[in-house]
Amino acid sequence: MSVTVIDVAKEAGVSRTTVSNVFSGRAKFSEETRVAVLAAAKKLGYKPNLAARSLITNKSRLIGLILPSYLDTNTLTNSPFYNIIIDGIYAILREEPFYDLMLFTIPRRESLTKASEWIDIRNVDGILAIGEYEPSFLADLNSKDIPIVLIDNYAHNRYQNFAHILSDDETGAFTATQFLIERGYKHIALCSSAMYSPLMQKRALGYKRALDSVGYTEQIFSGGDMAYESGLQFADELIKQNMDAAFCSEDMLAIGLLHALLANGVKVGSEFGLIGFDNINFSKQVYPELTTIDQNIFAKGQTAAKTLLSILKGEEVNLHQVLPVELVIRNTT
C-alpha cells in the first residue's frame, strides 16, 4: 500500500494541508515544520506525484535561467562568472522542495524567439535572466505574466513583472580607479570588452568620474566579447601609449592583460598597476595575484533566486536591489 499525505501528516504531527503546503511551496510555515514534514516523508518513503500536481496547480516547479544572446556557445567554459552565479542560484533552489532549474543559452546566430517558445513549452513558473537583451524580447517576457528577475541588466523600461538584481558597478569602478590614483599612477587606462553593454558603460562612468576628480586624461581601450583574448590584445597598445596602470572591467580581461604584460617584461605591481572587477577564483591563482573589485557573484546568484522564490510565494520583496562591492587589494597594485 502506497504512502499518502495523511500518513506523512500523522508522522510529522501536522495537518494534511500543512504537508501539501510544504511540498507545493504555498502559504507560510516555520522552518521547524518544513524539516519535520520532509523528515517524515523521507522516513516513510513518500514521493509526491509531481506530474499530477502540475496538472492540478498549473505549476511546473521549473525555474528558467537564460544566458544572453551575445555570448558564444562555450559561455560556461570561457567565463567563470556564469558558473559561480549558477552555483549561487542552485544553493538556494536545492533547499526548496522540487524546484528545478532549466538552463537555456542562446547562441548569437539564433533568434530570441526560440527562447520564448521554450519558456511556453516548458511552462516555467519564473525566469532568471542574466545580462542584456533586446527590448522586444523583454516586452515578450513581460507579456507572459510570470515573474522575471533580471541580473546585471540596466533596462531603462521597467516592466510590472520584472525585478532587478545589480551590483554597484559605478562605485566599484570609481573605487578601483581612485585607488590607482592614490598609489601614484597617472596614466590610467580603462580596458573593457563589450563597451556597448550598459553594465560596462556604468563601470566606465565610475572610471571617468575618478579621473575627472584629479584632472587626468581618460584612455579607453575596447575589445570584443571575448574578455581574456581582448586583454591579451591590449598589452602592446598600452605599452606603446605609455600607460602606467589599467582598470579592467572584468577579471578575465585583466588576467589576459597581465599575462601579455609579463610576457613583454613589464613589472606588474610596481611599474604598472592593474585592477580587475569580479574577484573570481582565478584572480588569486595567477601570479602576481590580481587586485580586484569583489562583487560577490555567488551571493548575487543567491539573492536572485531568493527574490524569485519570494515573488512566487506571494511574499513582499524589494524588486530593485543594488548589491555592494568591495576592493580586494593584492599584488598587482
Tell me the pLDDT tens digit for each residue of 264-278. Answer: 999 999 999 999 999
In the predicted model, what is the mean pLDDT of residues 94-109?
Answer: 68
Candidates 267, 256, 294; CA nearest to 278 is 294
Give the Cα separation of 111 and 114 in Å (integer): 6
What per-residue confidence (pLDDT) applies to 98? 58
Sign of CA dihedral 180, 333, 188, 246: negative
Cell digits for 319? Answer: 524588486
Strands 326-328 and 291-294: antiparallel
Give the Cα separation of 150 and 131 in Å (integer): 7
In the structure, what pLDDT confidence band is assigned to residue 183 with cuts at 50, 70 and 90?
very high
What per-residue confidence (pLDDT) applies to 156? 65
Residue 53 pLDDT more than 60? no
What per-residue confidence (pLDDT) applies to 12? 86
What per-residue confidence (pLDDT) applies to 23? 72
- Phi, psi of 257, rounded to the nearest 5 degrees: -65, -40
What per-residue confidence (pLDDT) applies to 55? 43
Ranking 65-74, 156-165, 172-181 by mean pLDDT, the lowest is: 65-74
In the structure, what pLDDT confidence band is assigned to residue 75 with cuts at 50, 70 and 90?
low
Candidates 43, 35, 34, 32; CA nearest to 3 is 43
What per-residue confidence (pLDDT) applies to 36? 86
Residue 128 pLDDT more than 80? yes
Residue 110 pLDDT more than 70? no
Beta-carbon contacts of 1 under 8 Å, excluding residues fewer than 6 positions away, are: none
Beta-carbon contacts of 298 under 8 Å, excluding residues fewer than 6 positions away, are: 84, 85, 87, 88, 91
Instruction: For domain 5-48, say whether CATH 1.10.10.60 is its number.
Output: no
Give the Cα separation of 95 and 252 in Å (integer): 31
Give the Cα separation of 228 and 219 in Å (integer): 19
pTM for the full predicted model: 0.81
- pLDDT over 70 percentage in the chain: 87
Task: Give residue 281's Cα distance to chain centre.
Answer: 15
Residue range 169-294 forms a domain whose CATH class is: alpha beta
What per-residue confidence (pLDDT) applies to 297? 97
Equal CATH topology for 5-48 and 62-167+297-323: no
What per-residue confidence (pLDDT) applies to 97? 64
Residue 212 pLDDT more than 90? yes
Q: What is the DSSP string of 178-241?
A: HHHHHTT--SEEEEEE-TTSHHHHHHHHHHHHHHHTTTPPPEEEEE-S-HHHHHHHHHHHHHHT
Give the Cα separation of 105 and 141 in Å (integer): 16
Cell digits for 250? Answer: 572584468
- pLDDT mean across residues, the chain: 86
Cell digits for 244? Answer: 602606467
Instruction: For domain 62-167+297-323, say whether CATH 3.40.50.2300 is its number.
Output: yes
In the predicted model, what is the mean pLDDT of residues 147-162?
Answer: 84
Domain boundaries, the chain: 5-48, 62-167+297-323, 169-294
What per-residue confidence (pLDDT) applies to 100? 74
Ranking 157-171, 201-215, 242-256, 316-330 by mean pLDDT, the lowest is: 157-171
In the structure, what pLDDT confidence band is assigned to residue 24 with cuts at 50, 70 and 90?
low
